[in-house]
Chain A
């Protein structure tokens, strides 16, 4: 099962290496990882998607908490949250199917950010499922190259 963990860490050199070392040493799998500064430049937020059952998740959370540079670990499994990732996909596009691809792209609210004579690059954002669905759909045209970010996530605000 996929779990999203949000980790607030000291924005210091070596912190990412500590987390990577921990995951490899303990045999945990990272599905994706995204790191960036927060509103406080001294603190970074890492969004880590991991696979495994609840007992694995529990160990990951505890082991992360044990690292001295980690300020807070939040497990998003049982709470409301939003997540977004981004993918850049360069696909084959010929004169004949270009219009079809553009139409598909607009349904998914993706953006065309490069157009060349036999290819175009699409930028798609969304949660993991949406991105993967889109990739599957456009793969029939032939994906020349692709790169993806890890998902970032925030817990939803409260409704009063």
Chain B
């Protein structure tokens, strides 16, 4: 039967079982939106395109399914760029559709025309410009296939106005075959055996797991190997929750703000088994000194991730779950009492700590309490900065996909919309955005979406009145020159102020409590440690969206820390000013 391009798109989305679409209409997408008006596609209207892509991203990270967004051309498309880049860096499957000026106008600088496929080429896994309606159905099928398979990522379809209107016979293909795109799933058995041999012969092995483990649902396989051969496990920021936090073999997170014992273990290891992790510089510290004495086994579905940063000794290309399952049969049972004792010693030597016993309002306390009250079962999202690191250190997520954060790109403004995306299909789950006061202001307009769609999201602002991570670096590495990192600063402040605790700071803008109330959400301010627990309980008990504005210590720093350029075991535990 003949259908218009717009009808084909919407029916294809429904055939792909798309539960929810985020986005915003506009000129060259109007015909498509008119078709949406007639359909029962579940569409959530965001207030900014960037936020809408983060919503789709949050949905995808929480569910493991492909997130979808629909936007208009020009500024609508350019506003998606940060969202696409965020998803691209963290391998999140998205299909993003943008309207485009009619094909006869493309290239003539039409109103709201921009070279969308050109702009998004380096930040998408693939993109398409549809110039013939007859290719549309296949393009959509391919887009979903490419986005969700192999190393997942965002795929963009640029959809000109005249193609939305053009008609053709519609058949949605039920399978897809792309001769130039065939991800390797099964690992090479010879490589798997070699890896197992090296692991069996090792004394001090460490498993280093990343987002790939979550994507391929290989948590059980990681656990099985680590328990069988008694291999300690450290995880990246994107794999929080993938390994049981309190297990004896858990090293928790490694890297710049990882634990002392994870970093020590890496540096003392004789074999590192990297699974679905890409040796990001925030994980490795100074690359030449990373795991100095270790052979590297690297399991990854993306061949380009292997030997990108340094030479891998045993690469195994393929799906983590498939490979680990096979590998487990070749792995010998081991005890490794000495190795584990050594790690426990490091744990005792330098545990994660803050001044728990004073009366000050420390952010770590807030996160620890939240973790305790939610039992680590809530979906937590974060923005980017100090609060993100505290959350990663102190929130004990019970399993994967409960801790959603922008790792690779480090996108401020990600967390709140991502929480909305996660909440959109999890009405009964507690979804909490942990934010800094700086990050939150980058996409806080989306509170309207929570209220309008009855999707209560809880927001905890760890408010230090600063771009906190910037301030921390300025304190530690730039002689306390707080150059444009104070968010309370006004015209009348001393220009070079670096004494935010002098009691003379002007009132913070905005008043987050009044701001929340203006949306009909609840606003709660917390200014002392003793109020924290009650406020958190009140927040969790509420059926409404809540903004908890927690006035934490202004100059609290994130520790431990590996300063940029240092080796992983050259860590700082406090600031010696």
Contacts and interface: CB of A to CB of B under 8 A. Distances in A.
Interface string B113-131: 0000110011001100100
A66 B303 CA distance: 8
Given A68-B126, A71-B180, A14 B117 contact: yes
Interface in A1-26: 9-10, 13-14, 17-18, 21-22, 25
B235 to A, nearest CB: 25
B125 A68 contact: yes
Nearest to B142: A68
Interface in B145-192: 146, 178-181
Contacts of A55: 307, 311
B122 A68 contact: no
B499 to A, nearest CB: 43
A155 B304 CA distance: 25
Nearest to B128: A14
A70 interface: yes
A60 to B, nearest CB: 10
A83 interface: no
Residue of A55, A68, A70 with most chain B CB atoms under a 10 A cut-off? A68
B122 A10 contact: no
A31 interface: no
A18 B121 contact: yes
Nearest to B146: A68
A62 B304 contact: yes
A59 B307 CA distance: 8
Contacts of B303: 62, 65-66
Contact of A59 (B125, B129, B181, B308): B308
Contacts of B122: 21-22, 25
Interface residues on B, range: 10 to 19
Contact of B180 (A22, A25, A70): A70
Residue of A10, A14, A58, A66 with most chain B CB atoms under a 10 A cut-off? A66
Nearest to A14: B117
Contacts of A63: 304
Interface residues on A, range: 20 to 34
Interface in A49-75: 55, 58-59, 62-63, 65-71
Nearest to A64: B304
B117 to A, nearest CB: 7
Nearest to B117: A14
Contacts, number: 40
A10 B128 CA distance: 13
A68 B307 CA distance: 21
A66 B304 contact: yes
B304 A68 contact: no
A11 to B, nearest CB: 12
Contacts of B179: 71
A30 B122 CA distance: 18
B332 interface: no
A55 B178 CA distance: 29
Contacts of B181: 68
Contacts of A10: 180
Contacts of A58: 307
A61 to B, nearest CB: 9
B307 A65 contact: no
A68 B311 contact: no
A68 B178 contact: yes
A26 to B, nearest CB: 9
A28 B308 CA distance: 13
Contacts of B11: none
Contacts of A25: 122
A66 B117 contact: no
A66 B302 contact: yes
A65 B121 contact: no
Contact of B121 (A9, A21, A62, A71): A21
Interface of A: 9-10, 13-14, 17-18, 21-22, 25, 55, 58-59, 62-63, 65-71
Which 6 residue pairs are nearest across A and B when measured between Cβ atoms? A62-B304, A68-B126, A71-B180, A68-B181, A62-B303, A25-B122
Interface of B: 117-118, 121-122, 125-126, 129, 146, 178-181, 302-304, 306-308, 311
27 contacts: A9-B180, A13-B129, A14-B117, A14-B121, A14-B129, A17-B121, A21-B121, A25-B122, A55-B311, A58-B307, A59-B304, A59-B308, A62-B306, A63-B304, A65-B304, A66-B302, A66-B303, A67-B126, A68-B125, A68-B146, A68-B178, A68-B181, A69-B126, A69-B180, A70-B180, A71-B179, A71-B180
Given A9-B180, A21-B121, A68-B180, 13 more contacts: A14-B117, A14-B129, A17-B118, A17-B121, A18-B121, A22-B122, A62-B304, A62-B306, A68-B125, A68-B126, A68-B178, A68-B181, A69-B180
